[in-house]
Amino acid sequence: MAAVVVLPLLQPVLHSAGLARPGFALPSGACDSHMHIFDPRFAPSKHWTRQPPDAPVAAYRQLQARIGTQRAVVVTPSTYGTDNACTLDALAQLGDAARGVAVVDADVDDAELQRLHGLGVRGLRVNFVTPQSWGTTTPQMLATLADKVAPLGWHLQVFVHPEQLLAMAALLRGLPVPLVVDHMARLDPVQGAEGEAFALLGELLDAGNTWVKLSGAYMRSAVGGPGYADTLAMGQALVRRAPNRLVWGSDWPHTTEAPGSVHDAALVDLLGRWCAGDAALLARILVDNPARLYGFGPVPSS
């Protein structure tokens, strides 16, 4: 008689609702391409007015065990301004299974960028949505930073409202480095694939230099979780449009939402619905695409 495998009892994970695993097993090497670490050992920017959550690497490892991801991309949150120390500490803890996206000012020098590269950073984020605690982000910053990171093979990641995406269309079309648009450009699910911003995003994807993070479904959903059913058509449209330049992210610890309200396993299941359950598509978005974008090595054989 075959041995019965008993899975360990799942424990609650900080900042994540529920205890269930996703409805399907993720492929080996699956990457969560957008998450943040907040650690009380690192002070927030002196200009930051809100209390950061306690979301250390140990808690994130519990989330990985629950949802089945093995790789991660740690994104410096606006909380820390241009101080990437918390992200770099997380990268050191997570090792080669992690990469970083940092936040810097436009006057960053080559030596600092080289230092960040050696510690696992592979891109820079410019946030046009959340007021910065350290200064003002401008479209010109994208052009300046693009020239600086091009020799490193990095990308620029932007967090934008749809109207901001439209306003920067000419600049974004001409960037000399890959562009990553996080949280699906906060597109309105009501408009879905019919809106002007989706049309521009599709054009950028078709040009071959732009990537989109399938993340933050809750940011514009009117029906809410755990299913976020109103995002289905838009997510499926993105998957059909450019399956080779999409990555998925949990956005843990979900700082835009009520504490503990987001069910991370349900977010994985939503990705499954966006991909219509196609295992090959899921492997592309969760494994192959992030490996190319962030420079992960081959998935270790089991």
Active site residues: 251
Angle between helices 232-241 and 196-207 (to 10 degrees): 30
Q: Is the dihedral of CA 231, 233, 238, 243 positive or negative?
A: positive
**Nearest of 106, 168, 167 to residue 135 by alpha carbon:** 106
**Nearest of 217, 296, 205 to residue 249 by alpha carbon:** 217
Residue type, 280: A
User: Which DSSP symbol is given to 265?
Assistant: H
User: Is-contact 51 89, C-beta < 8 A?
Assistant: no
How many angstroms separate the CA atoms of 290 and 204, rounded? 18
Residue type, 195: G
Q: Exposed (0-12), middle (13-18) or buried (19+): which is 191, by Cβ within 10 Å?
A: middle
